[in-house]
A and B are shown apart, each in its own frame.
Chain A
Amino acid sequence: MDFAIQDSPEQTAFRVEVRAFLDKNVSPDIEHMADPCDMSFEQYQLRRDLGRALGAKGWLYPSMPKEYGGGDLSTEQIGILTDELTRIGLALPPYYDAGGRMGAPTILVWGTEEHKKRFLPPICRGEVRTWQLLTEPGAGSDLAGIKSTAIRDGDHYVVNGQKMYVGSSHGADYSWTILVTDPKGERHKNLSWLMIPMNLPGISVTPMDLLATGGEGGSGCGVKNAVFFDNVRVPAENLVGGENNGWKVATTHLEVEHGGMGRLADRRVVYDFIDLCKKREDGWAIADDPGAREELVNLYIESEITRLFAMRNHWLSHTNQPRSYEGSQYSLRRKLSGLDMGEKMVRIAGPLVLTKDKRWAPLRGSIEYFQRDSITSLHPGATTDIQRVIMARRLGIGGREREKAANLR
């Protein structure tokens, strides 16, 4: 076994290449705001510029096939790329692109050749930003219970309804959307996925006032929205995976969303917090208190386990091995340990972690943001309860066959 991303000579060369590329292409004007909701349009554009530069090399979606604009990179190379972006406080992709991140692998499995050629290259090259639209006011955990419809009318689908808790600040070019295509059809056999251009008439977007962004703070998603569809006419060829076959398609999408792909986790906030506690001012440091030290070590151990689960999933997925409960296990762990770490921080450092005041907030308020984000993160990509349900099914606890993980390739 080898847990380290140990660079072979080729990998060292690749790391050097990545660093040189990032030195050249990451604008010095990129700011790392503690709260992604504070991201200005200019800041967003700087990240999109970087995305296009990465995309031109196939590095924005490095695991996607080259022929569709990806990079066909190896696990190690993706690790290096992610590593180097993390080092400078960015993620891959460097902006919120959930519809691309989860839609692209799903289209790769379920799309026709025409779909792949049309949708994947713009996503992989960073030319478009894509949201994912799943949740509705009446359908959160019970995704199959959505009500928004797409009814066939000639060579178009007419879309009506409302999606919630979606997207980011500063809009999107496309929305990867699940809708009811057969309102009278049987549950699970009435859904379809549409790639919807966001400039079509009848679409309106309203920002929501949430505690934080949740889930993907690192990729800077910003404000979540409600999206309303009022008789929006979407070309029929934008339906991917077959009409009324959407539940099957969703299993692939959800596999990615439930953590099946595994990300090499960023633990910056943990290290920053430990450093904060070690910082000595006027002869005093938070870590001087033995109780605080004990909690800090526990926090460190918690984050080590989370990192290793992510690493395992990353390895399983990038070496194309069978997975079962691991995706949901990681998701569950990330959510619960995030919450737990947030609480530990409150206990260790007191109100210091609760303020974003310019004078008093440590680390420009990033710890205060973590407090809000770790609570908000409990719901995106399925609640902790749903993650447990999936784990139980995959482990076969209920006596049925062990449910198989959806195909990601």
Chain B
Amino acid sequence: MDLSLNDTQKLIQDSARDFVRGSCGRDALLKLDRDPAAIMTTLWPQMLEMGWTGMAIPEEYGGTGNNLTDVAVLFEELGCGPVPGPLFSSAVLCARILMEAGSDTLKKAWLPRIASGERVFALALTESQYGWTADNVRAAAKRTGSDYTLSGTKVFVHDANFATDLLVVARVEGGAGVSVLRIDAKAAGVAIRTLDGFITGMCEVLLDNVKVATADIISDGWPAAERAMLSVTPVLCAYKVGSCKTVFDMSLNYARERTQFGQIIGRFSRVQDHLIHLVNYLDSARWTTYEALSKLDNGMDATASCHVAKSVASESHMHACDYAHEVHAGIGVSREYGLTLHTKLSRSLYHCLGAPRLHRKKLESVLGLVAA
């Protein structure tokens, strides 16, 4: 048993920390929150330069083939910002789906370009009957001549506003199961619109008779895609852990500085209790996440651990932010203070890759409470 980071991971952590400190100060992040498009001209080129787009991609496809824990260490630091952008969607989630489900031709065609940062992928799965399972998919591709045309409405799609390419989950005419289709985000018939509200980086994607080449269809690709999604889930959890950590640090510092009734509020046990809840949630998310990663990287069965990690991390992230607001009161909801960036994220990512309820439902099968 060794729960420490290795030397590679410490280097990744250091460079990510420097990046977050240097380029992602509070004012910079607040600005990008108002103008997300600027991410691609400011932060994205730096991420490419650091080689982060290639970390989760094997060397033979132009990446550096780091293991998932390495990638998670990076994402924990990015979560500390929280640093926005399509890095997870493109270089981790979609890259992994292509790796697990894609043909050799598709892998060779797209993975190197994801690794180089030239292309940015996003996963268009969820629809109006919201859910991260195949049952909820209504989008469909019809055969037209030698190719297909794809139609449907995808909504609450993460990072599609940054994407050059989309992996769309849809039913394909003549196919037995649910498939994964690659399309150009700028193709005729694709309309992407960023959604406004208490929401970070989510879009509506309208697909109206979009032409899809047969070579771009991963027939019956859903089971492999679902496996890929589950295996990168702890990386997303690590991002949440980072966010919880910052939220804890902010709250701790505030409790030590803010004075009321003639003393710092950290002296009040009611306030201390909020911080204790917060650190308990932080650590619950951290250790369930890193155990799942360790199992994945060591080739052990990580199914139960991944479900536990997502369930715990999503709940912890929301609760951590809630307790931070209890500590901060008025200043916490002032947008310029920065806490709400995390709070908004904790809600926006709660369902990403499946809400806790879905993962707990799946645990019922894993634990043998129902027939699998």
* Known contacts A3-B290, A399-B256; is-contact A392 B295 (Cβ 8 Å): no
Could you tell me the distance in whole angstroms from the C-beta of A51 to the nearest C-beta in chain B? Answer: 26
B-contact 0/1 string along A98-121, CB 8 Å cutoff: 000000000000000000000000
> Contacts A297-B360, A391-B276: A312 and B269 contacting too (C-beta < 8 A)?
no
What's the dominant secondary structure at chain B's contact region?
A: helix
Q: Chain A residues with Cβ under 8 A from B221's Cβ?
A: none
- Whether a CB of chain B sits under 8 angstroms from the CB of A311 is yes
The answer to whether A398 touches B267 (Cβ under 8 A) is yes
Q: Does A15 contact B (CB under 8 A)?
A: no
Give the distance to chain B from A332, nearest Cβ to Cβ, in Å.
8
User: In the assembly, what is the distance between CA of A243 and CA of B280, in Å?
Assistant: 38
CB distance from A117 to the nearest CB of B (A): 32
How many residue pairs at the A-B interface have CB separations less than 8 Å? 123
Chain A CB within 8 A of B5 CB: yes
B212 located at the interface, meaning its Cβ lies under 8 Å from any Cβ of chain A in the complex: no
Say yes or no: is B329 at the interface (Cβ < 8 Å to chain A): no
- When distances are taken between beta carbons in the complex, the residues of chain A under 8 Å from B354 are none
A31 is an interface residue with CB less than 8 A from chain B: no
Contacts of A311 in B (CB 8 A): 1, 3, 287
Q: Nearest chain B CB to A112's CB is how many angstroms away? A: 34
Q: A399 contacts which chain B residues (CB < 8 A)?
A: 255-256, 264, 266-267
Q: Which of A277, A301, A312, A325 contacts B287 (CB 8 A)?
A: A312
Shortest Cβ gap from A260 to chain B (Å): 15
Determine the distance from Cα of A304 to Cα of B279 in the docked complex, in whole angstroms: 17
**Contact among B1, B264, B368 with A398 in the assembled complex (CB-CB below 8 Å):** B264
Residues of B within 8 A of A287 (CB): 369-370
Query: In the bound complex, how far is the Cα of B3 from the Cα of A314, in angstroms?
Result: 11
- B23 interfacial by beta-carbon distance below 8 Å: no
Inter-subunit contact B1/A75 (CB<8 Å): yes
Q: How far is the CA of A355 from the CA of B69 in the complex (A)?
A: 46
- Residue-wise interface mask of B (259-302) relative to A, using a CB-CB cutoff of 8 A (1 in contact, 0 not): 00000101101011101100110011001101101110010100
**Contacts A1-B69, A397-B256 given: A293-B364 contact, CB under 8 Å?**
yes
Query: Per-residue 0/1 for B288-322: is the Cβ within 8 Å of any A Cβ (1 yes, 0 no)?
Result: 10110111001010000000100110000000000
Contact A398 B272 (CB under 8 A): yes
Tell whether A2 is near chain B: CB-to-CB under 8 Å. yes
The interface bits of chain A over 262-291 (1 if a CB of B lies within 8 angstroms of the residue's CB, else 0) are: 000000000000100110000000010000
B367 and A391 contacting across the interface, CB-CB below 8 Å = no
A274 lies within 8 A of B271 (CB): no
A298-322 vs B, CB cutoff 8 Å, 1 = contact: the mask equals 1011001100110110110001000
Asked if B2 lies at the interface with its beta carbon under 8 angstroms from chain A, I say yes
13 inter-chain pairs at a CB distance below 8 angstroms, sorted by A residue, are: A1-B2, A1-B69, A1-B290, A6-B298, A274-B369, A293-B369, A298-B360, A300-B367, A305-B312, A312-B287, A388-B272, A392-B269, A396-B252
Residues of A participating in the B interface, judged by any CB pair closer than 8 Å: 1-6, 75-76, 79, 274, 277-278, 287, 293-294, 296-298, 300-301, 304-305, 308-309, 311-312, 314-315, 319, 325, 329, 332-333, 388-389, 391-392, 395-399
